[in-house]
Homo-oligomer: A and B are copies of this chain.
Amino acid sequence: MAAVAAQRQGKQERVYSILRSRIVEGACGPGHRLVIDALARELEVSQMPVREAIRRLEAEGWVLYTRNQGAQVAPIDAVSWSEAMTTMAVLEGYATALAAPHVSRRDLDRMRAANRAMEAALRELDVAGASTHNLAFHGVIHARCPNAHIRRELTSIQERLNSLRNTIFSYIPARGEISVHEHAELLAMLEHGAEAAAIEAFAREHKLNTVAAFELRRAGAV
């Protein structure tokens, strides 16, 4: 839990972290109402820090807010997940192409390690671990993207998606192994200095494939 971190940072920060982690970790499901008074009593602060924390969560899309009615945890349905993931595919594709020239040999090593770790986790059916290593793999590239604005957008979308990543990954188990192979291929492209357009197309497809697999599985499940 990262909820303990905020101490010399004001109550509002503390409340924000707590509520955020609760939402991300799924402690309170979609539609759950966030009542200011109740939270204030529970967290032993006044209503205002809670209020501001909730407004921040609203601005970042974690909760829906209605005037004179309060906030409730934003429902993340399958459609909005696909849409966010698609957006990410487009941006990450471009970001990967931009980052390619700035990826060092050390970076490649880190990515290879992450990919191996992901493969190992998959063999042990450790979905959460695999997901973490997957994030680490792409995180290396993100960090090398020279466009700060895209970096921010990527992390923002990523955080929102994270609240469901374990669910998704276990929903389409076969996708994990394919991802590992695609990662390897991407590594090769980066190492051999492939064309930017090719890198972008591949990185984009890599993520779009996940979306497609998810939607296929979902259509079948209905």
Contact = CB atoms under 8 A, between A and B. Distances in A.
A3 to B, nearest CB: 19
A86 interface: yes
Contact of A83 (B56, B91, B147): B147
Copies assembled: 2
A169 to B, nearest CB: 20
Contact of A149 (B9, B51, B86, B94): B86
A211 B98 CA distance: 16
Interface residues of A, number: 24
A60 B52 CA distance: 14
A106 interface: no
Interface of A: 9-10, 13, 48, 51-52, 55-56, 59-60, 67, 80, 83-84, 86-87, 90-91, 94, 147-150, 153
